[in-house]
Amino acid sequence: MKSTTKDEYIQSVYKIVFFIEQNCNEDLTLDELSIVAGFSKFHFHRVFKSIIGESLSGYVRRVRLQTSSKKFKSNKKITDIAMDSGYETNASFTKAFKKHFGLTPKEFSKKIKERKGNEMLKPKFIQIDDIEILSVRGTGTYSEVAPKTAETLMKFAYSQKIKYKKNLMGKEARCFGIAHDDPKITQEDQIRYDICITWDDKSVKPEGEIVSNIIKGGKYAQFLHIGPYENLTKSYEMITNWIIEDEISLRNQPFFEEYLNRDPRRTKPENLKTLIHVPVE
């Protein structure tokens, strides 16, 4: 396969990945997805599985269930979560949920709330516009994937500067991470993470693993985490406590992080600053 053809396949498949993740509660048909990708539906399944590593239907099902799991942190009824997640009946949702997580929705809901403690962070509520980004998707444990994806993205950014004098890492550049899955309930080899930078110069063309995407605007609860990235889990646990205690309703968008330090490698771990954004209604 020629490299240019492979790049085109990767770009098209990730259009579908992002489309599924942003519309996972809708009725996604093969015809619709193949049109978005620009592929013949007869070849679409094979290309998707080759690049993503799982079938199209399996990926849609997993994203729906992973998204539904976040809604248990609020006080939504299980029936409402099932309907919001694209399942026509509570029974079909329960069956799929238990197969994926090994627990019924009721058992899962109880377990989530048992993890609640007394310590909570307090947010600042903000309204943001859509943010256009270039991103790299990694799959696996955050500790392993984050450095690899960051290296891939930085190599691309600096190659643009050297080859084409395109400065993607100027003073106004912003760096984000999108953590799609909870490592406590998702298998390590299926955890999805995107490393992203803002993208002002549209003359830069995404290539291969570097794809264009959008962080959706709207209302967010913003939390400041100070300290090592390894301690972010603790902040997320406190945020979960806040969601449960204050009965917060979440929008169907992933949490995202903004890394405020210009060069984390030259910053003491205790001085690292990360803004955590939680999409709220």
pTM to 2 decimal places: 0.80
What is the mean predicted confidence (pLDDT) over 190-197?
94
**CB-neighbour burial class of residue 129 (10 A; exposed 0-12, middle 13-18, buried 19+):** exposed
Burial letters 11-48, b for 16+ CB under 10 A, else e: bbbbbbbbbbbbbbbeebeeeebbebbebeeeebbebb
- Taking the CA atoms of residue 104, residue 107, residue 110 and residue 113 in that order, the dihedral angle to the nearest 10 degrees is -60
With left for phi above 0 and alpha for psi between -120 and 50, is residue 213 left, alpha or beta? beta
pLDDT of 34: 81
Contacts of 44 (CB under 8 A, 6+ apart): 30, 33, 34, 37, 56
Q: How far apart are CA 8 and CA 186, in angstroms?
A: 30
Please count the CA atoms within 13 angstroms of the CA of 278 that sit on its side-chain side.
Answer: 26
Q: Which residue has the higher pLDDT, 74 or 145?
A: 145
- Quick one: pLDDT band at residue 109, thresholds 50, 70, 90? confident
What is the mean predicted confidence (pLDDT) over 198-222?
92
Q: Within a 10 A sphere around the Cβ of 50, how many other Cβ atoms? A: 11
